[in-house]
Amino acid sequence: MTILMNKEGKERTDIERLLSGWQVSTPVQPDLKQRVLRRIALNEAERTREAPTWMSLMRLFSESRAIELTLAGLILLVTVVSIFAIHERKMRMEAEYCREYFLEIDPIAHAMAIRDSDRPKDANEASVVDMLGWMKDRLGLSREQFARMVDLHRNFSTKFTFLYTELCEIDDEYKVYENSRLNDQDIDFMAFYDLLQKRNLARADSMTTSKELVEIIYTILTPEQKAKFISLFSNKSSSNKNTPTISDIHAGA
């Protein structure tokens, strides 16, 4: 064989001559196109059967609609997030209004909450009308019911403010007695007894006033609204362990 020659150029020529000698006859397959098209159709049918939604989405995405679909996706995402955020905010506001309203109609709980949280006594809180506005939507109050509720709460608000202030003052005095008792044991027990009596009276008065208000509210509300009213306050106030719930007031009413 001439390839045994050592010169690379000669070897290359021999190899190339040998390579060029290999001629292949390639007869045309008459059924090639049919076979290919049949297999493609089968593959497509299988893919459609396996994952029609996913494949159609991918196809839709690849067919030069990528930008529009991305934008649509982003808009959808922003909308969903906004709806969720608005709903979350509404729920938070509702819980806050609920808590504030409960404190407003229960001077004992109000005073205790102020004492526990150490916040200023006259903090900027939502007005009764604001809270009733929320309740109007929640309980589905009619215009007439709402007007009666506003009048009712306005009438009671002076009494509640007075009781709440009195209870706060009693609490302050009580703290002074407690400090004296713990530090020097030198306190006027008669005066302390009078203070406790005064506190019990104020608490009883508060309870009576709250019950009175709730009873009148019940006369304004329909049975469905009444049930909603009770469930609303039972749920919302249950998180506050130090304050009595509306169920307690309801139990007494």
Interface residues toward other proteins, by CB under 8 A = 1-4, 11-12, 15-16, 18-26, 28-29, 32-33, 35-37, 39-40, 43, 62
Report in angstroms how near the CB of residue 2 gets to other proteins at its nearest: 7
Instruction: Determine the residue type at 79.
Output: T
| Nearest-approach distance from CB 26 to other proteins, in angstroms | 4
CA–CA separation, 105 vs 143, rounded Å? 22
Burial class (CB in 10 A: 0-12, 13-18, 19+), 250: middle
Q: Which residue has the tokens 């506005």?
A: 133
Q: Which is nearer to other proteins, 11 or 248 (CB)?
A: 11
Nearer to other proteins by Cβ, of 16 and 68: the residue is 16
CA separation for the pair 225, 222 (Å, rounded): 5
Work out how close the CB of 69 gets to other proteins at its nearest, in angstroms, rounded to a whole number. Answer: 16
* Closer by beta carbon to other proteins, 30 or else 223: 30
Q: Which is nearer to other proteins, 4 or 190 (CB)?
A: 4
d(CA 143, CA 53): 51
Assess contact for 237 and 102: CB atoms under 8 A: yes
The C-alpha atoms of residue 119 and residue 113 are separated, in whole angstroms, by 9
In the bound complex, what is the minimum distance in angstroms from residue 58's beta carbon to other proteins?
10
Closest distance between other proteins and the C-beta of residue 43, in Å? 7
Q: Using the minimum distance from each CB to other proteins, give the nearer residue, 35 or 119.
A: 35
Q: CA-CA distance, 189 to 175, in Å (whole number)?
A: 14
